Amino acid sequence: MKTVIVGAVAGGMSAATRLRRLDPAAEIVVCERGEHVSYANCGLPYHIGGVIADRQALLLQTPDSLRARFDLDVRTRTEVTAIDRARRLVRLREAGGREYEESYDRLVLSPGAAPFVPDLPGVERALTLRSVSDADRFTALLADRRPRTAVVVGGGFIGLETAENLRRRGLRVSLVELDRQVLAPLDAEMVTAVHAELRRHDVALHLGTALTKVLPDAVQLDGGRLLDADLVVLAIGVRPETGLARAAGLTIGPRGGIAVDETMRTSDPHIYAVGDAVEKSDHLSGEAALIPLANTANRQGRLAADAIAGRPARLDGRLGTAIVQIFDLTVAVTGWSEKRLRAAGRPYQAIHTHPASHAGYYPGARTMALKLLFDPHDGRMLGAQAVGGDGVDKRIDVIATAMRAGLTADQLADLELAYAPAFGSAKDPVNMLGYIADNLLTDRQRTVQWHELDAAVGAGATLIDVRTAAEHAAGHIPGSINLPVDELGDRLPEVPDGEVIVYCEVGQRGHTATALLTGRGRRAANLDGGYRTWRAGMTSPWADPRHG
Amino acid sequence: MKTVIVGAVAGGMSAATRLRRLDPAAEIVVCERGEHVSYANCGLPYHIGGVIADRQALLLQTPDSLRARFDLDVRTRTEVTAIDRARRLVRLREAGGREYEESYDRLVLSPGAAPFVPDLPGVERALTLRSVSDADRFTALLADRRPRTAVVVGGGFIGLETAENLRRRGLRVSLVELDRQVLAPLDAEMVTAVHAELRRHDVALHLGTALTKVLPDAVQLDGGRLLDADLVVLAIGVRPETGLARAAGLTIGPRGGIAVDETMRTSDPHIYAVGDAVEKSDHLSGEAALIPLANTANRQGRLAADAIAGRPARLDGRLGTAIVQIFDLTVAVTGWSEKRLRAAGRPYQAIHTHPASHAGYYPGARTMALKLLFDPHDGRMLGAQAVGGDGVDKRIDVIATAMRAGLTADQLADLELAYAPAFGSAKDPVNMLGYIADNLLTDRQRTVQWHELDAAVGAGATLIDVRTAAEHAAGHIPGSINLPVDELGDRLPEVPDGEVIVYCEVGQRGHTATALLTGRGRRAANLDGGYRTWRAGMTSPWADPRHG
Ligand SMILES: Cc1cc2nc3c(=O)[nH]c(=O)nc-3n(C[C@H](O)[C@H](O)[C@H](O)COP(=O)(O)OP(=O)(O)OC[C@H]3O[C@@H](n4cnc5c(N)ncnc54)[C@H](O)[C@@H]3O)c2cc1C
Ligand SMILES: Cc1cc2nc3c(=O)[nH]c(=O)nc-3n(C[C@H](O)[C@H](O)[C@H](O)COP(=O)(O)OP(=O)(O)OC[C@H]3O[C@@H](n4cnc5c(N)ncnc54)[C@H](O)[C@@H]3O)c2cc1C
Ligand SMILES: CC(C)(COP(=O)(O)OP(=O)(O)OC[C@H]1O[C@@H](n2cnc3c(N)ncnc32)[C@H](O)[C@@H]1OP(=O)(O)O)[C@@H](O)C(=O)NCCC(=O)NCCS
Ligand SMILES: CC(C)(COP(=O)(O)OP(=O)(O)OC[C@H]1O[C@@H](n2cnc3c(N)ncnc32)[C@H](O)[C@@H]1OP(=O)(O)O)[C@@H](O)C(=O)NCCC(=O)NCCS
């Protein structure tokens, strides 16, 4: 059996090595149009910034090492230009120009995705970052031209990593983003800290702004403004590399990726496809989704090999867990965001907390913002977001694991997470989410979201700040009266009749206050996430302009 | 409804605060025989070491703060000395001597556990560490007597934390442990690194050794040896505080803790008990287990309140996830160890890996040792252990979550864990465990454990080191022949007939070599965890003395 693989990085090479382990006799040809194979795309921004100084560290394998260990026939600078499905042949073109055909029994496509380059004047000068060769172009330019200014277009994961690493190299960096915020998977109130962190590190943010033109040493934005730009970087998303597949008549899915079944098989039973080029199934909706992440590409590569070797194997729907470091901030997400749920009309309940990374009484604890979204009827978890430092990755990984396994939000309370003072809390932040979800799911408590507050107050609710007088004095929600939780029992008569919304700094004292008031027969709700979430939301670019 | 609670720390106070939130009208009396309430026991060792310099930081609440916020009637220096179940009264004794009775509708016992103190000559001088007052005794002694030497008896979590913190204060520290190893939940090959770390930090280890006598400035060990000991600390485990419960005729379980049902109810329907004093149900076996950990104590306290307030609530079996920092090493465990499984006669399969905390190409990655135990028939996960630095807590928490949710070991391959180079790998260490489990569960690969190697070689197997010649020269398993994996394809004829056991440094290249050999019709097995696990096992105190 002969398998030809297109693309020699995450998905393609994982398929190749696995196939060899499953079938020592298989003939395996891997075609890569670029110069390098098995490289760490994810490390490229850090190589540009000098964090990964040694370029060699990015090259995990070479054609020689792969031949020696796995008996793979790896052909670099060799592009697959066409598939002849009827004859089961692919057409290859070497960088030198030579063209030839190669037959296959099974074909695996892992061509990845290409950075999207809009059709704008002067755009040829802009750099994109996908391969080691791309990174080489960056480092050559940085060394030769000693640029002083850079404009990064696109505030996604790769754009932010690139912006940070160019700052690290001392450039003045502007970030241009069409959306009103960076990092689309984050909700408004969660992204505020990211904007602040970027500004704190002197990245000039141009949000809600489009690039219109690339000039020789500047870029032009919509509205005509010019930004100095010795370097222009485009990081406005990637598009599945579907050229080959389209030309061969393979089914392309609704999101523009190659359509595959659970075993990675395309519409042609002899052709498999994996990685950034294919559509995955969304864990929540089952709909087609493009999730260009390395974990899934590697997983799919192995699965395709399993399928080819006749092993049972199928891929579940994807959550799209992702993480990015932005200077001293870590941002991680899994599943859906609130805005996506809202847009889809899916009922959800949100929880915001601001827990410490580990026990507050042990030195070095750092506060993170944590958000959980779940179904208000059955408790199914829908998504989570975390912004902070230490421990953000852990909490999102735990939640992603619980989501994959189908736990409900309140079941997070029962997780036994490793606790010693340097690592967590006796009630870990994830347990605490479970407690809060439990309170909401069993209808013991009602909460109000930061963006619902105006309407609630408009409808006549009284707003009570249950923090201390000092906290209240330092900043509070306009119109709120101060009635510290510790005095609530004695001062109950002061609480006005009718609907009451209480808030504290993060929601925890508010929870106790709400419970006390509700227990005394009042109609009370807690402001979810407290003053901190409200403020983050109201200072976000999405907030009602009246409070902007 | 009036509830009396015995013990005002993790379990008791969690019950009290929760009960207040569920029922603002409830009468709640909390009795604490000590001086302090709601304190962070888990921080005590670090207070002694000066890491948590501010003693106040350990006191999370005071009777006053609890009265103000939760309207709790907290009585410190008030011991509950007897329960009159027939009349639903408890007898209280104040530190001053006054005794009186208090009635209850519901009683919650959370008296914790007491450090075990063996009946040895001179033992009165030894310190134990359970409460803030105990810690005060330590700090007073350290300040007044300026001790230079300490002997810590007991190599469990608290013993190790205490030893480390006494080293931090500059004392010469010896650790005496009856068992041949510290940290009983770790298997032999996993504990080797812990012993090394302790020695590296000049903690003198006396393993397999019993304390026989405490002298005025030394201790005597079995065999007669004397160790200087200005300070003697006993940390040889805790015993549930069951005095009250026993005297009142409540059912005590097989492990010596108060017996409770899933709702925390004791054999008396009006009495609940939680925390270190009670027996939990083991997640794996369903048998009674003593798991004296703060997470569970807090969880149970809340559950008892829920039960009293008539909310449905039940506690699942416990995994006993735990973690401890030992100088620069982090050790975390969940579920059962191999030795425990073996002793119980339960079939299991073990996997050892040595993954990097994050992508190797990104600076700062550190290797950890990771071990997973699962059922060889159905893949159910039975336990996990990790020893390393950064990222150990995360991997154990993810596995504990997956275990709680009932995922099988091979399903770990499908977890979508947050990956960027600073946080993990495209195939996270946990995913990799899933891949390896998949290979074992589907019977594609056989492995041999470090402790099975002798027998296998004795039965005629050939041992092949598939690492490079340089690695082989630097140290190898006696009797193995060197045949690097990258040359295996060409040098197949050199592989002797019959059973072959291959090994590499950590098992990964061995896996590929095994697959290649098996595919070529050879009978091959991979040494699980490679040379590194084998060496750790063989230098452990449990190893066959021939290799010791
Ligand atoms: C800068 C950057 C940072 C990233 N950071 C992260 C991160 O932190 N975390 C994360 O999860 N993911 C990250 N990713 C995404 C991750 O790298 C991809 O998900 C993964 O590499 C996809 O694997 P793939 O095999 O589908 O495609 P690729 O790895 O892109 O490999 C495709 C290969 O196919 C070759 N090819 C394409 N067409 C042909 C053809 N016709 N003939 C021959 N060869 C062809 C291409 O040259 C390319 O080398 C990052 C990506 C980039 C670019
Ligand atoms: C030094 C140390 C370090 C620890 N580190 C960790 C860690 O890192 N991680 C972890 O998970 N766990 C740790 N623990 C364990 C954790 O502290 C316990 O699991 C938890 O405190 C148990 O809660 P509890 O309510 O059952 O008992 P406790 O917290 O011990 O509270 C019981 C209270 O009841 C009082 N009491 C007992 N009898 C009576 C009576 N008759 N009348 C009135 N009052 C009474 C006692 O004085 C005591 O204050 C540690 C414990 C210690 C001592
Ligand atoms: C590295 C690469 C060539 C794949 O090679 P690979 O040998 O399949 O993968 P790894 O080196 O990760 O090893 C995984 C294999 O070793 C096994 N393994 C790992 N540790 C092991 C251990 N301690 N004991 C036994 N087996 C082990 C796994 O089970 C798996 O084998 P399987 O697929 O047969 O189950 C391919 O993933 C690649 O090119 N990666 C770099 C590109 C990339 O991922 N870029 C995007 C992210 S930056
Ligand atoms: C702290 C202590 C007094 C309990 O007080 P508590 O108010 O019940 O607990 P916490 O302060 O942890 O807060 C948890 C409550 O706040 C809620 N909460 C937490 N964060 C919230 C937020 N952001 N929004 C809304 N509610 C929140 C939780 O849901 C929970 O309420 P619930 O039980 O009604 O669901 C008790 O646990 C204790 O004494 N601890 C110290 C001793 C100890 O644990 N020692 C061993 C470990 S060192």
Which chain A residues have a beta carbon less than 8 Å from that of B414? 299, 315-316, 404
Query: What single letter denotes the amino acid at residue B397?
Result: D
Q: Do A23 and B519 touch (CB under 8 A)?
A: yes
The per-residue pLDDT for range A198-231, each reduced to its tens digit, is 999 999 999 999 999 999 999 999 999 999 999 9
Calculate mean pLDDT across residues A492-519.
Answer: 95
Q: Which helix (H) or strand (E) holds A536?
A: helix A530-538
Give which of A370, A365, A367, A373 is closest to A337, Cα–Cα.
Answer: A373
The pLDDT of residue A546 is above 70: no
Chain B within 8 Å of A192 (Cβ-Cβ)?
A: no
Closest-lying ligand to the alpha carbon of B102? Answer: 2
The pLDDT of residue A525 is above 50: yes
The per-residue pLDDT for range B24-50, each reduced to its tens digit, is 999 999 999 999 999 999 999 999 999
How far off is chain A from B166, nearest CA to CA, in Å?
A: 17
Task: Identify the CATH assignment for A2-114+239-308 out of 3.40.190.10, 3.50.50.60, 3.40.1110.10, 3.40.50.12280.
Answer: 3.50.50.60
Q: Can you name the CATH fold of A328-441?
A: FAD/NAD(P)-binding domain (3.50.50)
The per-residue pLDDT for range A219-273, each reduced to its tens digit, is 999 999 999 999 999 999 999 999 999 999 999 999 999 999 999 999 999 999 9
The pLDDT of residue A544 is above 80: no
The pLDDT of residue B546 is above 60: no
Structure tokens at B535: 């060496």
Mean pLDDT (chain B) is: 96
Structure tokens at B259: 């017996």
A292 Cβ below 6 A of ligand 1: yes
Q: Which of A22, A42, A60, A294 is catalytic?
A: A42
Query: What single letter denotes the amino acid at residue A79?
Result: E
- Whether A31 is a known active-site residue: answer no
Give me the helices (H) in A215-293, please: 243-247
The pLDDT of residue B273 is above 50: yes
Q: Which residues contact A228 (CB under 8 A, 6 or more apart)?
A: A148, A149, A151, A172, A217, A218
A positions 20-49 inside 8 Å of B (CB)? 20-25, 40, 42-43, 46
Contact A110, A9 (CB under 8 A): yes
Contact B384, B396 (CB under 8 A): yes
| Cα distances (angstroms) measured from residue B132 to each of A196, B74, B116, B128 | 41, 17, 18, 11
| Ligand 3 centroid from CA A292, angstroms | 19
Spatial separation of the C-alpha atoms in residues A257 and A279, rounded to whole Å: 5
The pLDDT value given to residue A536: 97
CA atoms within 13 A of residue A330's CA, in its CB half-sphere: 24
The per-residue pLDDT for range A498-508, each reduced to its tens digit, is 999 999 999 99
Per cent of chain B over pLDDT 70 is 99
* From-to residues of CATH 3.40.250.10 in chain A: 447-546
| Ligand 3 centroid from CA A18, angstroms | 8
The per-residue pLDDT for range B412-432, each reduced to its tens digit, is 999 999 999 999 999 999 999
DSSP class of residue B425 equals: -
Calculate mean pLDDT across residues A65-76.
Answer: 96
Given A42, A324, A401, which is nearest B398 (Cβ)?
Answer: A401
A positions 401-440 inside 8 Å of B (CB)? 401-402, 404-407, 413-424, 426-428, 431, 435
| Cα distances (angstroms) measured from residue A66 to each of A105, A297, B220, B485 | 21, 19, 61, 11
Interface with B, mutate which of A23, A395, A401, A466 (most B CBs under 10 A): A401
Among chain B residues, CA nearest to A22 = B515
Q: Do A52 and B363 touch (CB under 8 A)?
A: yes
CA angle B475, B528, B546 (to 5 degrees): 55
The per-residue pLDDT for range A88-106, each reduced to its tens digit, is 999 999 999 999 999 999 9
How far off is chain A from B58, nearest CA to CA, in Å?
A: 6
The pLDDT value given to residue B445: 85
Spatial separation of the C-alpha atoms in residues B342 and B392, rounded to whole Å: 25
Contact A55, A46 (CB under 8 A): no
The pLDDT of residue A115 is above 50: yes
Q: Do B519 and A359 touch (CB under 8 A)?
A: no
Interface with A, mutate which of B282, B302, B361 (most A CBs under 10 A): B361
The per-residue pLDDT for range A281-298, each reduced to its tens digit, is 999 999 999 999 999 999
B353 Cβ below 6 A of ligand 3: yes
Which chain B residues have a beta carbon less than 8 Å from that of A293? 416, 419
Spatial separation of the C-alpha atoms in residues B95 and B77, rounded to whole Å: 5
Q: Which helix (H) or strand (E) holds B114?
A: strand B113-115
| Ligand 4 centroid from CA B301, angstroms | 11
Structure tokens at A129: 């970052």
How far off is chain A from B222, nearest CA to CA, in Å?
A: 33
| Ligand 4 centroid from CA B302, angstroms | 9
A221 Cβ below 6 A of ligand 1: no
Spatial separation of the C-alpha atoms in residues A522 and A516, rounded to whole Å: 9
The pLDDT of residue B545 is above 70: no
Q: Which helix (H) or strand (E) holds A272?
A: strand A271-273
Q: Do A398 and B397 touch (CB under 8 A)?
A: yes
Tell me which residue has its CA closest to atom 37 in ligand 1. A111
The pLDDT value given to residue A445: 85
Among chain A residues, CA nearest to B21 = A515
Give which of A424, A432, A417, A420 is closest to B400, Cα–Cα.
Answer: A417
Calculate mean pLDDT across residues B527-536.
Answer: 98
Spatial separation of the C-alpha atoms in residues A9 and B49, rounded to whole Å: 50
Extended strands (E) in A21-177:
27-31, 73-75, 78-84, 89-94, 99-103, 106-109, 113-115, 149-153, 172-177
Spatial separation of the C-alpha atoms in residues A534 and A503, rounded to whole Å: 10
Q: Do A419 and B319 touch (CB under 8 A)?
A: no
Model confidence at B544, pLDDT cuts 50, 70, 90, reads: low
Spatial separation of the C-alpha atoms in residues B46 and B450, rounded to whole Å: 37
Give which of B474, B488, B484, B548 is closest to B519, Cα–Cα.
Answer: B488
DSSP class of residue A134 equals: H
The pLDDT value given to residue A547: 38
Q: For ligand 3, pick from B436, B443, B448 the residue to mutate: most ligand atoms within 8 Å of CB.
A: B436
Model confidence at B392, pLDDT cuts 50, 70, 90, reads: very high
Per-residue exposure over A191-228, b if at least 16 CB sit within 10 Å of its own CB, e if not: bbbbbebbeebebebbbebebbebeeebbbbeeeeebe
Given A51, A65, A417, which is nearest B295 (Cβ)?
Answer: A417
| Ligand 2 centroid from CA A423, angstroms | 19
How far off is chain B from A138, nearest CA to CA, in Å?
A: 19
Calculate mean pLDDT across residues A431-437.
Answer: 98
Contact A397, B417 (CB under 8 A): yes
| Ligand 1 centroid from CA A371, angstroms | 30
Quick one: three-class SS letters along B497-540? CCCEEEECCCCHHHHHHHHHHHHCCCCEEEECCHHHHHHHHHCC
Contact A102, A51 (CB under 8 A): no
Q: Do A404 and B418 touch (CB under 8 A)?
A: no
Interface with B, mutate which of A416, A425, A466 (most B CBs under 10 A): A416
B positions 212-271 inside 8 Å of A (CB)? none
Chain B within 8 Å of A327 (Cβ-Cβ)?
A: no
Q: Which helix (H) or strand (E) holds B94?
A: strand B89-94
The pLDDT value given to residue B444: 72
Q: Which residues contact B28 (CB under 8 A, 6 or more apart)?
A: B2, B3, B5, B16, B19, B20, B70, B71, B72, B73
The pLDDT of residue B523 is above 70: yes
A45 Cβ below 6 A of ligand 1: yes
Q: Which residues contact B316 (CB under 8 A, 6 or more apart)?
A: A414, B281, B283, B404
CATH number given to B123-236: 3.50.50.60
How far off is chain A from B228, nearest CA to CA, in Å?
A: 30
The pLDDT value given to residue B548: 35
Give which of A415, A238, A21, A442 is closest to B319, Cα–Cα.
Answer: A415
The per-residue pLDDT for range B216-262, each reduced to its tens digit, is 999 999 999 999 999 999 999 999 999 999 999 999 999 999 999 99
Structure tokens at A113: 């995705």
* From-to residues of CATH 3.50.50.60 in chain A: 2-114+239-308, 123-236, 328-441
Which chain A residues have a beta carbon less than 8 Å from that of B467? none
Provide the Cα torsion A36, A37, A40, A41; round to 10°.
Answer: 70
Cβ neighbourhood burial of B339 (10 Å; 0-12, 13-18, 19+) = middle
The pLDDT of residue B3 is above 80: yes
Cβ neighbourhood burial of B366 (10 Å; 0-12, 13-18, 19+) = middle
B36 Cβ below 6 A of ligand 4: no
Given A40, A65, A406, which is nearest B359 (Cβ)?
Answer: A40
Calculate mean pLDDT across residues A449-469.
Answer: 97
Chain A within 8 Å of B1 (Cβ-Cβ)?
A: no
Contact A436, A347 (CB under 8 A): no
Q: Can you name the CATH fold of B447-546?
A: Oxidized Rhodanese; domain 1 (3.40.250)
Given A23, A361, A426, which is nearest B10 (Cβ)?
Answer: A426
The per-residue pLDDT for range B139-163, each reduced to its tens digit, is 999 999 999 999 999 999 999 999 9
The pLDDT of residue A121 is above 50: yes
Model confidence at B313, pLDDT cuts 50, 70, 90, reads: confident
Calculate mean pLDDT across residues A55-79.
Answer: 95
Closest-lying ligand to the alpha carbon of A504? Answer: 4
| Ligand 2 centroid from CA B75, angstroms | 17
Mean pLDDT (chain A) is: 96
Spatial separation of the C-alpha atoms in residues B252 and A126, rounded to whole Å: 75
Pairing of strands B288-289, B280-281: antiparallel
Tell me which residue has its CA closest to atom 16 in ligand 4. A508
Chain A within 8 Å of B328 (Cβ-Cβ)?
A: no
Q: Do B51 and A398 touch (CB under 8 A)?
A: no
The pLDDT value given to residue B537: 96
The pLDDT of residue B52 is above 50: yes
The pLDDT of residue A548 is above 50: no
Which chain B residues have a beta carbon less than 8 Å from that of A401? 398, 401-402, 405, 407, 415, 417
The pLDDT value given to residue B543: 73
ipTM: 0.98
Chain B within 8 Å of A485 (Cβ-Cβ)?
A: yes
